[in-house]
A and B are shown apart, each in its own frame.
Chain A
């Protein structure tokens, strides 16, 4: 009713204002010929306007020959000239058409005029994901953007744009409504209107030093002219984790006894067999549960010609798949904008409150380390939980115990937003002031009562800790925009100045010995009776930038863009503080040339660019050697303070830079049914800033210092093809994204030619972090093989000072030394995927719609630590079930599984036995939806109603035997190792979108 009233009022308003000669009439419908209500109709160049009525019809006074503009939220604005006959207008959805406008940082530009690599993420596709953060929802929706979920409630996914750009912090720069900030877990993704990903140097150059990992520009929704729209959506999701195929107690006992028996015979175990209990605990059943996500959003939006508003509220609740992991988020947003003469302004402000019970454990490790013969609860142990003993010997953590005994809660309130003011004295000149804030107020409370979760835990008095950390992030920007045509020459230019400051401060305290009152602890710090401690520390940094951009095009055919940014950061020493980040790009829209006469190609643009970006996303004072003055020692029976440099630093740290060359084309064919773009990129990252372990004998402690650790080259191709068509009532579309990646080390930190890290070796000229492990050749099945296991001059080869026996692993004696030593390691695997592929299908038929996305990664190797652990018999843990035919040598001499021996690790060296093909292809989501006919719901006052169901990660094709080939390892020197990484969850979501 409200809506009709508004329409009436607006109509009256327009009638009162206009009293012209003719009555212009017409009807506006959508592509399915449904009448569109509330479309704003305006006569171009005047203030005359109206909105369409309930049947999509409109009428207003005007003159023949005038141009009418039709606009509607979410649909492409159209213009039409009134020539006397009623206008029948069909508004199309905001598809990626040529007139699409993209935000490229301080400016918007028609997509057709782009000279750099920019991906536009389809925010409608994003909403099909069950995830609660923007990052997670973006998976596979843009070329070259790789998203990996954290698998935990209340933690954001990680995003990488085009492989590894920087190594220290691979997350891209996020700009939300002009404010530089990471949306993270506090952000409600349903507030988003558009997302643009700036991937190459020329497109991202305006963000200079901060853009080496790419830039993601998020714009939240704005109110549009028209009556208020109320939109409600609700989603409920059930999710589950992939599981290991672990042995039950009976099988565990069988193989454990076998390994012990072998150990006794072998001399590596002096005791007897374990006296197993009768328990049969399925730890995975005990720890994992069905996760539930609930997501509710309501938004109100609307506005008039001179202003708009968007207000939204959301509630998101995530019960994680692991015991002891929950997350709650309340979010609220107000966006407004307005205009008065030459002045305009806008504002966006979001507030969120989150409450997280984080995981204290890694259950994916724990369920494999706990034995099925250990009960979850054991009243004989302090705290009442089972964790094994001499006859169920493991040092695994009982995750139920730890999550129960160690209580942690994190509450965060976050306030962020930006306000801008624009002054446009001349049609071609404007000035804009933008000010943004991003404040976090974080509280942590942690308490550990008496009780244990692991064998051999020392006595610890009840302990409590409270911490408060505040973050203040502020941004101030001035920009001047110039935009003018001179005949066929178009020039626009931008100049600006920005200043951003960041401050973080934490204060906290802790105590021991909390009293128990009435069966529970008093956990307020004041109740603690001893060891009062407190702490306080600060991080602070700032950045000043000067920026400029110049765009020129001639006749929409030839384009040239030059960008320059000069950044100064407080995070580097005075000498190295300032960096210059220029870029240049050009494009040629061949299709605009007269000689170009190919009827089936609507648009063809060639483009190329070069640019330099930078990165200094490091700690505030990483370049500064500091003296730790708070350490203590005991002298004369008293604690006295000591002071020393503890951590070694590189004071000459400098900007990491990334130079990129991009060459590509964009084309549209066949009445725009097919659009395609292809691109070659060659990116050289120099002086990559990351931690790089240094010689231990330097005496360095508290972590490896940051270093300009390597220079890398990433190059490859990107292809995107988009096909859209309809067959009768059936509309469908296919989008394919393919990215290839080739990684090479150009140089390494500290002037090294080669750098070793645990399992990997990085060498100039080779990909980074190649697996450097023992190479194996199956197992010894015959005595003859053992007899022939000799060096070239006949010396018998020893493994761990002993000759191998039947059933042992055959390690290759690479250096022919007669002994298997570290010198026998070889390059045996590559952690880098050669290609990523994403395929999206959409289809609709009448009221039904369907979409699905598949994502895959190909050609990389994964070192599977879970496989190592699950088949490790030298010490105890739970075991992975043996596949049929792959029982250990003692049982099946024809299998590939070696002899299992307790107390002897000879068959479990870090070798290629644990290296697996990491390629996969999976259904990221599959969705079915149904939109109700407007005529049926209109009587209910409802404008649109759609219900849908989505399945995430339901089907995966892979040879990888671990839980999930799509995992995150943040250690760049070991990025391909699945070290009990959290897997992506499978899920099914049911949702409802309602607009009225």
Chain B
């Protein structure tokens, strides 16, 4: 009897003894790093994810414009969020301030991580060689674009060229080392893994050969390697008419009505279909958010505003037809604008913009109108569909003019390219304008070019790089000029505020291999 019981128990245990394969449970939600990066479609999805990185608040989608436009003398922030505004006026207390500092760092390096994955895994994928090269070329271009921003904001940082793991401890590379890598990456996109000069409509928005050349030119220019910069820009200029050119209606550089046109060299493709948050999923937002932050009180947050001197500069010169420069109307919204532009639309979104200044307390503020969506909407939100043009042909023309004079070319020679930009908006050639004397010397030409760039390109994200390159942040004379336009520069300390502090938490946990920027 006992034996039977024992056998019975043994049998019961035996039946149910567990097989350790019961512990093998696959993740049904997502593919794994082990199974991915095998096919051509993996490679294509991989490069698409690199573009997806633009839809993050730390990029031009939202906050990066605060660094470049508002920190510069073109703009200001009078945000009621004091710390946010402080980070546009050289008053940095908490070096971990997420929306002003750490978020940029995070999103740039997130984007670099995605590029690094493509650059590491795609070469091993068995696929069409041309397609592979194009994918790698795009990843090189995008990685260079992000390291460019690292150098503009912090002037140094970790230089990471392969996907890292969680053990990674930040090690700093100098600005020079980062510039060298930017050059290497862009050259790779131009030569080894050649980008196409033009994509088909279905691929509109991808990086092109021209984008890589333009960015490489800008990288050289920023390092004052004018000769090399000039060569790169020349490639684009030689394609004027065939590939690049200035569009007739200047304002359509900032609307969703004429995107990826001949003037656009590289654009962030914004779209208002999705209305989600800025996550990494199928409903993630792909819209432009800055418009909401720059729109005046009652429409948007009025966190970013224009400095008045821009208005005054525009008004100094009439078009050849005697009217005011429409670029002013389309760049800045200011009190009494309707007097300068009698044919202008008094309505701005749902409000009458001619009556708000006293009633709604807009006072003497000047608002940033560039990239507004009032031409087709009555309200703002976080989903504007206008592409953000990171680089456009007009910018390259002006950069090219700078290269000409900096490499010993004549001001007349250089003025040809400035005049293209001026003529398009109805202004006379420099030589025939009230600024004719600017052609008298390289110095006077450069001063004029600096102003021409602001008038054409204000709030397009290049002013901060320009100020750095032109040395205005390096001496008291330059600083005095900036102070005269923007009182925030009273807080500016030369040798300190030329760059942001490195996120403190990153310095803290770097075991001394990433040091804080000087004087912070």
Contact = CB atoms under 8 A, between A and B. Distances in A.
Interface string B1-20: 11001101100110011101
Interface string B145-158: 00000000000011
B273 interface: yes
B5 A624 contact: no
Interface in A511-567: 512, 530-531, 533, 537-538, 540-544
Contacts of A819: 519
A903 B85 CA distance: 10
Interface in B186-202: 200-202
A530 B12 CA distance: 57
Nearest to B113: A699
Interface in B26-61: 27-34, 36, 42, 45-52, 54-55
B301 interface: yes
A965 B163 CA distance: 44
Contact of A459 (B12, B34, B379, B507): B379
A633 B380 contact: no
B48 A695 contact: no
Contacts of A540: 25, 28
Contacts of B102: 696
B112 A628 contact: no
Interface string A464-481: 000000000000101010
Interface string A602-642: 00000000000000000011001111111111111111111
A695 B168 contact: yes
Contacts of A644: 45-46, 49-50, 52, 113-114, 117, 280
A460 to B, nearest CB: 7
Given A631-B280, A701-B106, A822-B507, A478 B29 contact: no
Given A390-B361, A637-B271, A699-B111, A425 B2 contact: yes
Contact of B22 (A390, A544, A629, A698): A544
A644 B206 CA distance: 17
A568 B22 CA distance: 10
B45 A642 contact: yes
Interface of A: 268, 270-271, 390, 393, 395, 423, 425-426, 429, 431, 433, 455-456, 458-461, 476, 478, 480, 497, 499, 512, 530-531, 533, 537-538, 540-544, 568-570, 574, 577, 620-621, 624-646, 648-650, 693-702, 705, 707, 750-753, 755-758, 800-801, 819, 821-823, 874-876, 902-903, 905-906, 909-910
B275 A456 contact: no
A51 B386 CA distance: 87
A628 B280 contact: yes
Interface stretch (B238-246, B282-290, B308-316, B403-411): B282-290
A447 to B, nearest CB: 16
Contacts of B24: 570, 574
A629 B284 CA distance: 13
Nearest to B268: A634
Nearest to B31: A627
18 contacts: A425-B2, A425-B9, A538-B29, A543-B23, A570-B23, A570-B24, A625-B32, A631-B280, A631-B284, A632-B274, A632-B286, A635-B269, A648-B166, A697-B157, A698-B113, A698-B160, A701-B106, A756-B508
A568 B23 contact: yes
A801 B493 contact: yes
A627 B39 CA distance: 14
A469 to B, nearest CB: 14
Interface string B353-365: 0000000010000
A800 B95 CA distance: 12
Interface of B: 1-2, 5-6, 8-9, 12-13, 16-18, 20, 22-25, 27-34, 36, 42, 45-52, 54-55, 78, 80-83, 86, 91, 93-96, 102, 105-106, 109-114, 116-117, 157-158, 160, 163-170, 200-206, 259, 269-271, 273-276, 280-284, 286, 292, 297, 301, 361, 379-382, 491, 493, 496, 503-511, 516, 519-520
B380 A698 contact: no
A642 B46 contact: yes
A313 B201 CA distance: 67
A634 B113 contact: no
Contacts of A632: 52, 274, 282, 284, 286
B384 to A, nearest CB: 11
A888 B268 CA distance: 50
Contacts, number: 296
B20 A568 contact: yes
Contact of A627 (B30, B47, B168): B30
A577 B21 CA distance: 11
A620 B83 CA distance: 40
A431 B96 CA distance: 61
Nearest to B158: A697
A700 B112 CA distance: 10
B505 to A, nearest CB: 6
Contacts of B168: 694-695, 697-698
B7 to A, nearest CB: 11
The 5 A-B pairs at the shortest CB distance, nearest first, are namely A699-B113, A642-B49, A642-B48, A644-B49, A425-B5
B29 A533 contact: no
- Chain B contact residues: over half helix, strand or loop, or mixed? loop
B513 to A, nearest CB: 10
A650 B164 CA distance: 11
Nearest to A619: B27
Given A460-B381, A512-B275, A626-B29, A634 B164 contact: no
B52 A636 contact: no
A628 B30 contact: yes
Contacts of A431: 9, 12
A293 B12 CA distance: 49
A600 B428 CA distance: 112
Contact of A625 (B33, B49, B505): B33
B109 A697 contact: yes
Nearest to B114: A644
Given A433-B12, A635-B206, A641-B48, A458 B381 contact: yes
A478 B13 contact: yes
Contact of B381 (A459, A569, A645): A459
A620 B506 contact: no
Contact of A701 (B13, B22, B110, B510): B110
Nearest to A906: B93
Contacts of A753: 511
A909 B33 contact: no
Best-buried of A629, A650, A707 by chain B (most CB within 10 Å) = A629
B169 A695 contact: yes
Contacts of B507: 822
A645 B109 contact: no
Given A425-B2, A433-B12, A633-B51, A697 B201 contact: no
A903 B165 contact: no
A943 B33 CA distance: 68
Contact of A752 (B27, B200, B491, B511): B511
Contact of B505 (A426, A533, A696, A699): A696
B431 to A, nearest CB: 41
A801 B501 CA distance: 14
Given A497-B16, A698-B166, A699-B109, A459 B380 contact: yes
A636 B204 CA distance: 4
A574 B34 CA distance: 14
A821 B496 CA distance: 13
A648 B106 CA distance: 14
Contact of A635 (B27, B81, B202): B202
A456 B54 CA distance: 24
B49 A633 contact: yes
Contacts of B274: 531, 632, 639
A635 B205 contact: yes
Contacts of B493: 801
Given A426-B5, A628-B280, A643-B42, A636 B203 contact: yes
Given A458-B382, A637-B271, A646-B280, A875 B83 contact: yes
A752 B169 CA distance: 10
